[in-house]
Amino acid sequence: MRGHRPHPVPTLRRVHPTDPRDAAPPLTVLVVEDEPTLAEAVAVRLRGEGFAVHVRGDGPAGVAAATEHRPDLVVLDLMLPGYDGLEVCRRIQAERPVPVLMLTARDDETDKLVGLAVGADDYLTKPFSMRELVARVHALIRRVRRAAELASADVGVPPQRIGDLEIDRSGRRVRRGELEVHLTPIEFDLLACLARQPQAVLTREQLLAQVWDWADASGTRTVDSHVKALRRKLGPDLIRTVHGIGYGLETP
């Protein structure tokens, strides 16, 4: 997508938010949700997981709280008074990169949002169980941490070339032919994962485990949405669908 800025990897400050031996302050989560009952349930559950939680009920207050509290992760409702979740996400991300878990009302909204590349890292459709929310939050934190580790391990590694595709892992940049293509963090991780095993076909479950760090297979639709987004940006011919199995790169 033109005009989408390269998206640096957020860094998380501490390693074990719930480890009682860790004297450092807990990781901070900002919850922006205008349904008070849901916001409170999410906050209570996340506090139970050892996070420090701030709750805001509208867009402008959410943006202000992100500036004030510098959260490690944001749980962000899409439909909000003031600015909607897209605008909140843009404003928060313009200030500093922070992982965002977006709450949507319908599955097809997620498809649309992935295509818009608003900078959210993951999506959860309402209604969801608190167990699912907590699993996603932990997975997102693990994923961001691992991406940061991979990026630092890849410093100085020359770009990988597959046909006219060039993947620079250390700079987290992608070119196809002469054009630089701006990917969101999750799109980059998905492409990099496929490119690590360019001859292989990976199942949706494998991609969920390796890119999203989800243990269960409930989110295979998420994989499909992000593959669609990659095809829109990189061309329809780069990633092939192997029906009934999964996805692989089309190698020359």
> Residue numbers of the site for Ca ion (CB under 5 A)?
34, 77, 79
* Shortest Å, Cβ 107 to Ca ion: 17
Nearer to Ca ion, 79 or 130 (CB): 79
Q: What is the DSSP letter of 157?
A: P
* Shortest Å, Cβ 7 to Ca ion: 25
Q: In this structure, is the dihedral angle defined by the CA atoms of residues 106, 79, 120 and 1, taken in order, positive or negative?
A: positive
Q: What is the DSSP letter of 1?
A: -
Nearer to Ca ion, 124 or 211 (CB): 124
Q: Are 33 and 103 in contact (CB under 8 A)?
A: yes
Tally Cβ neighbours within 10 Å of residue 161: 12
Round to whole Å and give the CA distance between 220 and 115.
Answer: 16
Round to whole Å and give the CA distance between 227 and 240.
Answer: 10
* Shortest Å, Cβ 66 to Ca ion: 17
Round to whole Å and give the CA distance between 198 and 72.
Answer: 33
Please classify residue 149 by burial: count the beta carbons closer than 10 Å to its beta carbon, then call 0-12 exposed, 13-18 middle and 19+ buried.
exposed
Nearer to Ca ion, 79 or 195 (CB): 79
Nearer to Ca ion, 36 or 171 (CB): 36
The identity of residue 180, as a single letter, is: E
DSSP, collapsed to helix, strand or coil, labels residue 10 as coil
* Shortest Å, Cβ 31 to Ca ion: 12
* Shortest Å, Cβ 146 to Ca ion: 31
Round to whole Å and give the CA distance between 143 and 186.
Answer: 9
Nearest CA to 233 among 198, 190, 202, 199?
190
The residues, ordered by sequence, that sit 6+ positions from 84 with a Cβ below 8 Å of its Cβ are 59, 78
The identity of residue 142, as a single letter, is: R
**Which residue's Cβ lies closest to Ca ion?**
79
Tally Cβ neighbours within 10 Å of residue 78: 21
